[in-house]
Structure 1
Amino acid sequence: MHRVGVLALDGVLPFELGIPARIFGAARDAAGKSLYTVTTCSLDGRPVRAEADYDLTVSHDASLLATVDTVVIPPSHALGPIRAEGRLPDGLRDALAAVRPGTRMVAICTGTYVLAAAGLLEGRPATTHWREADRLQRMFTTARVDPDVLFVDDGDILTSAGVAAGIDLCLHIVRRDHGSRIANEVARSCVVPPWRDGGQAQYIQRPVPDPAGNGTAPTRAWAMERLAAPLTLADLAAHAKVSVRTLTRRFREEVGLSPGQWLTRQRVDLARHLLETTDWPVDLVAHRAGFGTGTSMRQHLHAAIGVSPQAYRRTFRPTRTAA
């Protein structure tokens, strides 16, 4: 049983505070046994003031953090000296100092400030809400802040962007711990996507699509049914009955990507699904996903997620056991 401790600070955002319990609490093995225990604490065991118009009562103080396997720090709107001066208050510094070496540290949104102020991000990659990324980088110059991703997994330190990206990160942790099947079941139970690719940039200041029926949704749906075919920009433009230039502009407005980038992303997603759910050889997966050759798929998969098809299959597909 993996133990997760969630630290609620004053000003905590209730939605993000509830993410770990909801995601990890839904993870169960084939026999229905819970794979995680999730316990919430405050620094002194007393109620904490939420960012909403109510207080939250907890049953544990921060000594809990010295007993768990994973510590999660949700965001707060009252980080005070942490966000302003980059230093931890005495009580929080002592609580984090008591965490056992090797404990997995997870921060959601502005919770990343806490890890940075504790000195845990020196020379390491991290992310936070895109509005805070520049400030975080200026304050903690040795951290490598990436504002364009939903989450960063750096082994024992994991950080996410804002709000729903905390769901993406927790699902990723379940997938890393227990494989794709269980993570997908958790996502299905919580009615969220099992894997959401892409960065924060595509959600920032994105124009609203033209409602006059000129959008690319029908063409995207048409292409999704033909991913194995050698689709070209001209094919997509012909289906949409527009020029390649107009199609490209509309794709960028609606999905934040060029048609070619979007098509590659859909093929990578399909390849990952097939690697997880079939025993097909890599070349057959590549053909069905529209990459043509195994070499092409390897290149695109490595560019997207940094691993080869074989490594992805080993990591995210549970090994078979004898009947």
Structure 2
Amino acid sequence: MHRVVVLALDRVYPFELGIPARIFGAARGPDGEQLYEVVTCSLDGGPVATSADFAIVVEHGIEALATADTLVIAPFTWEPPDEDVPVAPADVFDALRPGTRVVSICTAAVLLAAAGLLDGRPATTHWWEAERCQQLFPKVNWDADVLFVDDGDVLTSAGVAAGVDLCVHIVRRDHGSAVANRAARHCVVPPWRDGGQAQYIERPVPGPSTATTAATRAWALRLLDRPLPLTELAGHARMSVRTFSRRFRQEVGMSPGDWLIRQRVELARHLLEDSDLPMDQIARRAGFGTAASLRQHLHTAIGVSPLAYRRTFRAADDPAG
């Protein structure tokens, strides 16, 4: 069983601390077997002060880190702005076995950045902290628009509920969409949220007459198998291309083109997992046109070919396709 160790530091946010146990604990195999074991530790095995008006008692100390297949560092309060940058004790990362996956939720990314684990790599954190992190850690490729960043062995999430998105993504990456979707349904959370942090950044509230792109997005999801040029999307929304593009990015956090590619990749992953369709048919249904285009986009998105993805996530008794 894959062991997830969650590290709780002083002034931890209790909601985010509980996310890994909730999501990974809901991930079950085809026979209902538990796929992850989740344990929570502190640096000394003692109670941990939270950002709320209570402390949390954990059962494990720092020795649990040596048993982790995945380490999740929960976020904590980090204020005021001129406070010294939090630095994890050296033995936190030294205690990990080679190959341990490292995950941060929200502000915990500063610990990874301070340790140099994010140098030259993409990462994210809560949008409120992004500018400060960019100033303090200029070697990191911070992206304040996304909900999470998967860079292989190091993953980072944006704030609060984005930790849910990242944990569901990890389950999907480890065991496929069917397991991740079941875990999400069990926890009554969406298996996938469109867009990124940009939709949550504080902006003036639009007036009641302001048009949105929501209806056009819903319409486009039903037509992923055919070309959807920007002009047609804007026409459906009854906006100019310029207005539509600007409003789409404000609402979703990415361009219409990037959003369409993400939706097509997700559809292709679903078809690879749950159907026996050959690659050229999956490519056409997902709107990529050819198997070569499907292969290119899937590899860009998740780093593997369609055949490798199908072999990994199809049940052992299913045809390889």
Q: TM-score, normalised by structure 1?
A: 0.83
Verify the 8 A CA contact 1:108 1:166 in the aligned structure 2: yes
Q: In 2, distance between residues paired with 1:239 and 1:152?
A: 32
Shift of 1:137: 3.9
Report the CA distance between 1:18 and its aligned residue: 0.4
CA contact (8 A) 1:3 1:37 kept: yes
SS in 1 for 2:192: coil
Residue in structure 1 matching 2:285, options 266, 283, 288? 288
- Compute the RMSD of aligned alpha carbons: 3.2
Aligned to 2:251: 254
Match of 2:8 in 1: 8
1:178 to 175, 178, 191: 175
Is the CA contact (8 Å cut-off) linking 2:42 and 2:48 kept in structure 1?
A: yes
Query: Equivalent residues in 2 for 1:140-219 (5 A)?
Result: 140-196=137-193, 198-205=195-202, 208-212=205-209, 214-219=211-216
Which residue of 1 is the match for residue 114 of structure 2? 117
Alpha-carbon shift at residue 141 of structure 1 (Å): 4.4
Q: What are structure 1's unaligned runs of at least 5 residues?
A: none
- Equivalent residue number for residue 272 of structure 2: 275
Residue of structure 2 equivalent to 1:37 = 37
Counterpart of 1:321 in structure 2 is 317
Contact 1:275–1:309 under 8 Å retained in 2: yes
Say if 1:129 and 1:281 are closer, same or farther in 2 by CA, change over 3 A: same
Task: Describe the shift of the 1:271–1:55 C-alpha distance in structure 2 as closer, same or farther (beyond 3 A).
Answer: same
- Taking the aligned partners of 1:143 and 1:230, their CA distance within structure 2 comes to 36
Q: Per-residue deviation at 1:78? A: 4.8
**Retained in 2: the 8 A contact 1:206–1:256?**
no
Identify the range of structure 1 (125-134 vs 233-242) with the bigger mean alpha-carbon deviation.
Answer: 233-242
- Which of 292-301 and 36-45 deviates more? 292-301
Within the alignment, does 1:136 sit opposite 2:136 as a pair? no
> Partner amino acid for 1:108?
I
Closer/same/farther in 2, CA of residues 201 and 307 from structure 1, 3 Å limit: farther
Length, aligned pairs only: 319
1: CA distance, partners of 2:166 / 2:79 = 22
Q: Using a 3 Å threshold, how does the CA distance of structure 1 residues 266 and 206 change in structure 2: closer, same or farther?
A: farther
Distance in 2 separating the partners of 1:231 and 1:122: 38
The answer to whether the 8 A contact 1:71-1:105 is kept is: yes
Displacement of 1:8 in angstroms is: 1.1
Matches within 5 A, 1:97-116: 97-116=94-113
Letter in 2 for 1:147: A
Q: Structure 1 residues 298, 240: CA separation in 2 closer, same or farther (over 3 Å shift)?
A: same
Identity %: 64
Instruction: Give the Å deviation of 1:14.
Output: 0.9
Instruction: Report the secondary structure of 1:111's partner residue.
Output: helix
Q: Match for residue 48 of structure 1?
A: 48
Cα separation, partners in 2 of 1:46 and 1:78, compared to 1, 3 Å: farther
Shift of 1:76: 0.6
Instruction: Specify the structure having the higher radius of gyration (Cα).
Output: 1
Q: Counterpart in 1 of 2:60?
A: 60
Structure 1 residue runs of 4 or more that deviate by more than 6 Å after TM superposition: none
Tell me how far 1:208 sits from its aligned partner: 4.3
Matched letter for residue 214 of structure 1? A
Q: CA deviation at 1:24?
A: 1.0
Seen in structure 2, the aligned counterparts of structure 1 residues 292 and 208 have a Cα distance that, compared at 3 Å, is farther
* Mapped partners of 2:49, 2:10: distance in 1: 5
- Residue 25 of structure 1: CA displacement? 0.8
Give the superposition deviation at 1:95. Answer: 4.3
For residues 236 and 163 of structure 1, do their structure 2 counterparts lie closer, same or farther at Cα, with a shift above 3 Å needed? same
Contact kept, 8 Å, 2:23 with 2:183, in 1: the verdict is: yes
Unaligned runs of 5+ in 2: none
- Work out which of the residue numbers 199, 221, 226 in structure 2 matches 1:224: 221
Judge conservation of contact 1:116–1:122 (CA < 8 Å) in 2: yes
Q: 1:36 to 1:73 in 2, by over 3 A?
A: same
Correspondence for 2:27 = 27
**Pick aligned residue for 2:263 from 262, 266, 289:** 266
